[in-house]
Structure 1
Amino acid sequence: MSKPQPPVNKNETIELTFEDLTHEGNGVGKVNGYPLFVPYALPGEKAQVKVVKVKKNFGFGILLDVKEASQERVDPPCDVYEKCGGCQLQHMSYKMQLDMKQKQVKDAMHKIGHLSHVPVHPTIGMEDPWRYRNKVQIPVGETEEGGLKAGFYRKRSHDIIDMDTCVIQDEHNDRMVEAVRRIAEKYSIEPYKEENHRGVLRHIMVRTGQTTGDIMVVIITKTKKLPHQEAIVQEIRDTFPNVKSIIHNVNNKRTNVIMGDQTNILWGDKYIVDTIGDIRFNISPKSFYQVNPTQTKALYDQALQYANLKGHETVVDAYCGIGTISLFLAKQAKKVLGVEIVAPAVDDAKKNAKLNNIENAEFYVGEAESLLPWWQSQGLRPDVIVVDPPRKGCDESLLNAMIQMQPEKIVYVSCNPSTLARDLRILEDGGFETQEVQPVDMFPQTGHVECVSHLRRKNNNSDGRLS
């Protein structure tokens, strides 16, 4: 018996009505039950579509012409939106973006975690969902005329789209990148070329303190020396007198990693400073620091609410980074133990604790999945565990250690609803109950969503331990 063939052919043009969205924000329409995924299409729309890829169970198309538009469709303010791979949702009203992200989390909880009973609250959004990013890293290339261009990569390529503004970046970042590009072009600094591993200027990075106004410029080159270094530094300072730090980073490897191992201060301070709430942070060129401090505050406020600390608790913060959430926890707990695998981040965390006169937070270098089981074997029983893992979620050994430690509460901060749902299922099976999940929109105009989840230990007996 022959297998049924898909009802569409590659390069065929069809009319399609859309009924749903993927987690990436692509429209979903069906032809005789066969789904087609089409970027920039919205539910309820009818459009002309060209089929570009046909697989056994699904296909992909491109939007040619919208015949009937959704009321949630808006005009993207970015001139290069459909070329650049940075944003995916600018064509969608912000309300629809928030609803989509809540649905994404609900679907993961239902399909992956089998936790349909757990409340998933409406996504916490921004009052102004633009110009929120405090850090930009822009690759530099060569124009057809031989000048310098700076911009993000075209989707699924390393072709640089020349741009002079990005509507989700802090405006200071925009102006600084353009100024450094112009100054480097004036001094005939050669752009780096991936294909032959030649040239000088690879990336321009700018970091901005949202509350302080501090600005750091990082010039990343393949070469150990920056040609015309003194003149370039002086021109940057003359152009932007509020710049606090100008850094040169050397990356001479054939790699997609942006920064190299050697960093030199050309002028100014080693750090810039920013605040989230009443906590101050020193930010170095390589510091991991949330790119949207406004929503980071919303995220951490939610985590603190779920932790509900009274002042007598011992808290473990796995994946603590530079101590951002640890320091908030320390203000309300008896003691906080932070764990982070990146040694420079732990150094920054210790410095940030000192900067804020916080003495009840300790930071350790190591893998959370190794250190927590060892602590558990040594008898540590924290009252609250906070985890904020990478996209792959928590290692099974870490989840098992958390279960064995039997904390009263677990607060799970996640940047990936799928691995969150998987891990919550394991924690539920290990004796915890997920109370609620709160999505937070850390990255408006993109398909990404963060969540804070609140878990409590089940079946407490009189001594407060799992029975």
Structure 2
Amino acid sequence: MAKSPGNTPVQKNEQLTITIEDMTHEGSGVGKVDGYPLFIPKTLPGEEAVIKVVKVNKNYGFGKLLELKKTSPERVEPTCHVYCGGCQLQHMSYSLQLQMKQNQVHNVMKKVAHLEHVLISPIIGMDDPSHYRNKIQIPVDEKNGELITGYYQKRSHRILKNQDTCYVHSHAMNEVLPFVRHLMNKYGVKAYDEKTHRGELRHIMIRTGHFTGEMMVVFVTRTAKLPAKEQIIEELTEKFPFISSIVQNINDQRTNVILGKKTKVLWGAAYIHDTIGDLTFAISPKSFYQVNPVQTKVLYDKALEYANIDENDVVIDAYCGIGTISLFLAQKAKKVYGIEVVPEAIEDAKKNAERNGIDNAEFTVGRAEKVMPKWKKEGLKPDVIVVDPPRKGCDPEFLDAMIAMEPKRIVYVSCNPSTLARDLRILEDGGFETKEVQPVDMFPNTGHVEAVTLLCRQNT
């Protein structure tokens, strides 16, 4: 039996029966042996499980579920048995998923932000937490001479198997993907091989307009040439008339970055369109656009409510992407300034403003932490700042610039409660008060949760 580090009460490869007492924010069950915590995926609080210890650290270990002696009433039969690692909560009732995410937000507000009594509203879930994604990026590989598609096994680059149906993908994407794979095999398109840097097709991306029904299919290739391009396009568009755009993206680099720099339209339009409320947005292959369109409207409505804008307000929208939140804000504000580091996104934002007849939104390319101090020196005084950063949260320079600008309100849209809580502590110390946090379940069956937070400048 493998030796344990230090004086841990369990050893690697040991089998034991354990009661699950708690749950991590990622959805793994937590059991204890003489006070030593073990994290066991696919288990729920209250269950009695036979496990195998697979990793032992000084202060905690990891186990693998072998058998359940007693099951929780919150356990449900998973719709998908592939367990690619994406939907790690599918064995859990939706009500327990929402409770877990609510607790996650509560815990970080208390332990990281040190906000004991902030109002955290009940999480907003979905009526139907399935088939919500409007975008997929599927890697391809080759097995027994045949091109296959599917997701990588967790912590590997090995595709599990052909995966034709996914519980969180839209129904239309579940129809199109296997037919695309069939065409690739029919016309001899070779899968890209990471080791040899040979083969043609690296990824298949599909994007849909949830409310318009439009679809874009993107072939990410190593080579500039896509074999049998005309035949593939003809068969694909004949079978699925709702496809409005077929695009090729060329990525000839040895990299795990999915999209390359060069994109060309093979058939149809360069964009598809979707709507949020009464606004229409053009979406390109590289556009950042929320993947759950139903909950996006919920999220943005809450951000707009917190912003509480009138016709005299000047607003900054940092990390504005293609202008989705900016244009919502511009419908009520005097002026909106959007910042985004991706030039293509800013071009899309400008076109989206024009498309919707909005002329009081101005978009700037740059890093928010660099642009904001510059605007501060130039005398720009926003009434409201809306920020929607990536998972790493806001840079210290950006937080300093927000504090120095002294807006009346800050609306912080976050996809990572931990970095949100860290940044709220800095903003609180800089003279702002956290008024309310609203969790929103944008990604059912996963451990992710979004939150919208309202902060007001103290003494205003």
Q: Which residue of 2 aligns with 1:158?
A: 157
Q: Which residue of 1 aligns with 2:102?
A: 102
Q: Which residue of 2 aligns with 1:76?
A: 78
Name the SS of the counterpart of 2:110 in structure 1. Answer: helix
Q: Which residue of 2 aligns with 1:14?
A: 16
Unmatched 5+ stretches in structure 1:
461-467
Name the SS of the counterpart of 1:95 in structure 2. Answer: helix
> 1:398 Cα deviation (Å)?
0.9
Name the SS of the counterpart of 2:119 in structure 1. Answer: coil
Task: State the Cα deviation string for residues 97-127 of structure 1 (Å, max 9, x = none).
Answer: 1110011111111111101211212211111
Aligned length: 455
Query: In 2, Cα distance between the equivalents of 1:405 and 1:164?
Result: 51
Q: Which residue of 1 aligns with 2:32?
A: 30
Task: State the Cα deviation string for residues 306-353 of structure 1 (Å, max 9, x = none).
Answer: 111122100000000000100000001111000001110000000000
Q: Which residue of 2 aligns with 1:464?
A: none
Q: Which residue of 2 aligns with 1:46?
A: 48
Task: State the Cα deviation string for residues 356-412 of structure 1 (Å, max 9, x = none).
Answer: 001111100011101111111121110000001111111111111111111110000
RMSD, aligned CA: 0.9
> 1:193 Cα deviation (Å)?
0.8
Corresponding letter in the other structure for 2:294:
T
Query: In 1, Cα distance between the equivalents of 2:261 and 2:455?
Result: 40
Corresponding letter in the other structure for 1:24:
E
1:11-410 equivalences in 2 (<5 Å): 11-81=13-83, 84-144=84-144, 146-161=145-160, 162-410=162-410
Name the SS of the counterpart of 1:52 in structure 2. Answer: strand
Q: Which residue of 1 aligns with 2:416?
A: 416
Task: State the Cα deviation string for residues 122-154 of structure 1 (Å, max 9, x = none).
Answer: 21111100000001111111123x111111111
> 1:79 Cα deviation (Å)?
2.6
Q: Which residue of 2 aligns with 1:439?
A: 439
Unmatched 5+ stretches in structure 2:
none
Q: Which residue of 2 aligns with 1:465?
A: none
Query: In 2, Cα distance between the equivalents of 1:175 and 1:192?
Result: 23
Corresponding letter in the other structure for 2:38:
L
Name the SS of the counterpart of 2:107 in structure 1. Answer: helix
Query: In 2, Cα distance between the equivalents of 1:165 and 1:254?
Result: 30
Corresponding letter in the other structure for 2:339:
V
Query: In 2, Cα distance between the equivalents of 1:417 and 1:273?
Result: 30
Query: In 2, Cα distance between the equivalents of 1:377 and 1:21?
Result: 48
Name the SS of the counterpart of 1:78 in structure 2. Answer: coil
Structure 1 residue ranges (4+ consecutive) displaced by more than 2 angstroms after TM superposition? none
Name the SS of the counterpart of 1:7 in structure 2. Answer: coil
Query: In 2, Cα distance between the equivalents of 1:383 and 1:436?
Result: 18
Query: In 1, Cα distance between the equivalents of 2:249 and 2:378?
Result: 42
Is residue 98–residue 122 contact of structure 1 (8 Å, CA) maintained in 2?
Answer: no
Query: In 1, Cα distance between the equivalents of 2:432 and 2:135?
Result: 37
Query: In 2, Cα distance between the equivalents of 1:396 and 1:192?
Result: 40
Name the SS of the counterpart of 1:60 in structure 2. Answer: strand
Percent of aligned positions that are identical: 62
> 1:294 Cα deviation (Å)?
0.7
Is residue 29–residue 37 contact of structure 1 (8 Å, CA) maintained in 2?
Answer: yes
Name the SS of the counterpart of 1:90 in structure 2. Answer: coil
Is residue 177–residue 205 contact of structure 1 (8 Å, CA) maintained in 2?
Answer: no
- Length-normalised TM-score, structure 1: 0.96
Query: In 1, Cα distance between the equivalents of 2:334 and 2:47?
Result: 55
Query: In 1, Cα distance between the equivalents of 2:139 and 2:387?
Result: 33
Name the SS of the counterpart of 2:299 in structure 1. Answer: helix
Name the SS of the counterpart of 1:97 in structure 2. Answer: helix
Query: In 1, Cα distance between the equivalents of 2:87 and 2:197?
Result: 29
Query: In 1, Cα distance between the equivalents of 2:72 and 2:349?
Result: 47
> 1:279 Cα deviation (Å)?
0.8
> 1:4 Cα deviation (Å)?
5.6
Name the SS of the counterpart of 1:419 in structure 2. Answer: helix
Name the SS of the counterpart of 1:15 in structure 2. Answer: strand
Query: In 2, Cα distance between the equivalents of 1:50 and 1:119?
Result: 41
Name the SS of the counterpart of 1:115 in structure 2. Answer: coil
Query: In 1, Cα distance between the equivalents of 2:261 and 2:351?
Result: 21
Name the SS of the counterpart of 1:238 in structure 2. Answer: helix
